[in-house]
Each structure stands twice: as structure tokens, then as C-alpha cells.
Amino acid sequence: MSRAAVSSAGTHPAGEVAPHITQALTEAGVDPADAYPKPLTEEVVQAADIVITMGCGDACPVVPGRRYLDWPVADPDGAPIAVVRDAIDAHVSELLTQLAP
């Protein structure tokens, strides 16, 4: 696999991307210019092959036929961003290894 399309949404999105999230995106080589908080809707889930949640429980829409993974990651609001970033990076690396042909 050479590429994976990724999008992000939340059950209670903020009004704007927090500065520490913008910094983490920049450090990861992602241009945050077009980033904005988006609500997690059924339509977003329907467009996904894999839905990764981070503790949203019953608040997340469930669509039959989608693969769901729940990653235990600290809430970025209040946790050191390096801890959150490193945890997400480890999960993403593991998933990409599983998806690689």
C-alpha cells in the first residue's frame, strides 16, 4: 500500500483547531491550513472503510459493514501532546503494517 486517505471528526468538535494540535500536525509534516473541527456524522462513517474511535462509546454512529477499532488514547485536551502524538503514531504504524500487502 502506498497511500491511505485519512480524515478526522469528533463527537463534540471545538470551534477551531487548538494550537497544540496545529503544532503536532506541522511536526508530523501535515499542512494544517485546511484543518477544521468536523462533526462525526453517519455520513462520515459511511464513507470510511475503517472507523477508529478513541473512547466515544455510544456517541459514535455505527454503520453495518464498517471495521471499528477503539484506540485507548489520552484526551488531547489536558494531556501532554507528545504523549498523545506518540500513542496515535504507534497505533497508526501498527495498523499500516496490518494493512500492507
Average pLDDT of 40-65?
85
What is residue 7's predicted lDDT score, i.e. its pLDDT?
85
Would you list the domain boundaries of the chain?
19-99
**Residue 1 in grid coordinates:** 500500500
What is residue 2's predicted lDDT score, i.e. its pLDDT?
62
- Identify the residue with better confidence: 91 or 77: 91
d(CA 84, CA 79): 7
Most confident of 6-15, 50-59, 77-86: 6-15
Q: How far is CA 90 from CA 38, 59, 73, 84, 87, in A?
A: 24, 25, 11, 10, 5
Burial 46-61 (b: 16+ CB within 10 A, else e): eebeebbebeeeeebb
CATH architecture of the domain 19-99 equals 3-Layer(aba) Sandwich (3.40)
